[in-house]
Chain A
Amino acid sequence: MALKSWKELPIGCVVSEPGSASEYHTGSWRSQRPIWDNAKCIKCGICYVFCPEGCVQQTEDGFFQANMDYCKGCGICAHECWPRAIKMVEEG
């Protein structure tokens, strides 16, 4: 998406399209990513509950994964996961 010039900005930078924040992939800020070890996961969902971005989702088989478009790599899921099924690894 081409960046707009200052002349093209709407008055007061009002955003008129509801939900357009989802187009902004804040996952690009991430320096670490969470990796789930499903062998250790007990499907308690604490990662889902604590994710401040709401980007952890439950898959059909009952395990969890993060939407990498929005996961900022904060590590709260890994910190809260008491069976220690989530490991934070550096982004390449």
Chain B
Amino acid sequence: MGKRVGLEVTVAVAEAVALCRIDMAGVYPITPQSHIAEHLSSLVADGTLEAEFVTVESEHSAMSAVIGASATGARAYTATASQGLLLMNELLPIASAMRLPICMAIANRAVSGPLNILNDHSDIMPQRDTGWISLFVENSQEAVDLSIQAFKIAEHKDVMLPVNVNIDGFQLTHMVEPVELPTQEEVDEFLPPLTPHATLHPAKPVTMGAFSMSDYFTEIMKAKDEVIKNSKKIVLEVWDEWGKKFGRHYKPVESYRADDADILMLTMGSMGETAKIAIDELRQKGVKAGLLKLRLWRPFPFEEIREALKNAKTLIVTDRAVSFGGPGGPVFSEIKSALFAGKHHPAIYNYIIGLGGRDVAVRDFVGMFEKILSDKDQKAKDTYEFWGVRE
């Protein structure tokens, strides 16, 4: 068993990635991700990590560099946030189409404008349809665990897809928390060396990322959709293996006091920690409240969501991003889509919370529950509201 240490989350993530024996990192610093880049760079510089650290001139170059490295068969890693992720956007569907098992941390941060460096999910949400497996973490231990699991999922022969691990900027990245880092031996045992599906090598020439006209494009998109949908099975297998090995268990949709709950709330990322405290307070007041936490964003866990909501009468979905002029927050519309085809339809409400780093305290979560409970004739059902907005 690894040692339990107090580390800043970004440093813990960089340590976890180093334990994965990456061959290459191409990272451009951007707040609040920079400490991952800095610490990885230090580990390479002091010889602790035998890897190539490529100091690129932008995030576009960072993603291009990791795509190139991954194509040669290297275990490649990058990390970014906000504008950096948006600058990578052009390359994200290329990485997944080329089936390159790149792993990336996203220190989630609001996108401009106005310029804001603090946390929300407006950077990852526009990347939803780029063909990357997308995971969310709640605390430091999860950030470490999922950073390691990401490689195992990405590199599975039936997956071979890039994976991003979403870590709330500042709220989580800059916290110092106790965390158990696995030992090198444990990680080596869990994560075998990468076996690439193809490599760029002069002795065996191949073409990667070739051109396709309309005669094949549809088939290529269909194949990509099938592989990411089927990757859920591998994600579950990896989490099962992790649970057995390390005693920490992960699920696509996690729940807290949800079994007998009449009213459920759904969160993603670090705010689940605060919402849990609100659930405890509400339970003390006699409200049968419960919490669901969505960990697996892509592939979307339709069955698990339906199962988790099968008895719920009311659901409050929280979103950390806005779909301007759309049907509500992106998580809200996804959950509604998941339930539409089924028979059980709880009353669903949507709060858009914590934009650009705005604090969402326990009293806010309690307030959301109380507001919905007082909506006796369900006037606010199926609508969305910016929680705490000044009128």
Contact = CB atoms under 8 A, between A and B. Distances in A.
- Tell me whether A and B are bound partners: yes
Interface of A: 3-7, 9, 11-16, 18, 20-21
6 contacts: A11-B160, A13-B98, A14-B208, A15-B208, A18-B207, A20-B207
A14 B98 CA distance: 8
Interface string B208-240: 101010011011101100100000000000000
Given A12-B99, A14-B197, A3 B160 contact: no
B206 interface: yes
B205 interface: yes
A30 to B, nearest CB: 15
B219 A12 contact: no
Contact of B97 (A13, A18, A20): A13
Contacts of A16: 198, 206
Contacts of A7: 223
Contacts of B198: 11-12, 14, 16
Contacts of B207: 14-15, 18, 20-21
A18 B197 CA distance: 17
Interface of B: 97-100, 160, 197-198, 205-208, 210, 212, 215-216, 218-220, 222-223, 226
Nearest to A18: B205
A23 to B, nearest CB: 12
Contacts of B206: 14-16, 18
Nearest to B227: A11
A6 B229 CA distance: 15
Contact of A12 (B97, B215, B216, B218): B97
A8 to B, nearest CB: 9
Contact of B220 (A9, A15, A20): A9
B197 A11 contact: yes
Given A13-B210, A13-B212, A4 B97 contact: no
A6 B219 contact: yes
B76 to A, nearest CB: 15
A68 B198 CA distance: 34
Given A7-B223, A11-B197, A13-B216, 11 more contacts: A3-B215, A5-B219, A9-B220, A9-B223, A12-B98, A13-B220, A14-B197, A16-B206, A18-B205, A18-B207, A20-B207
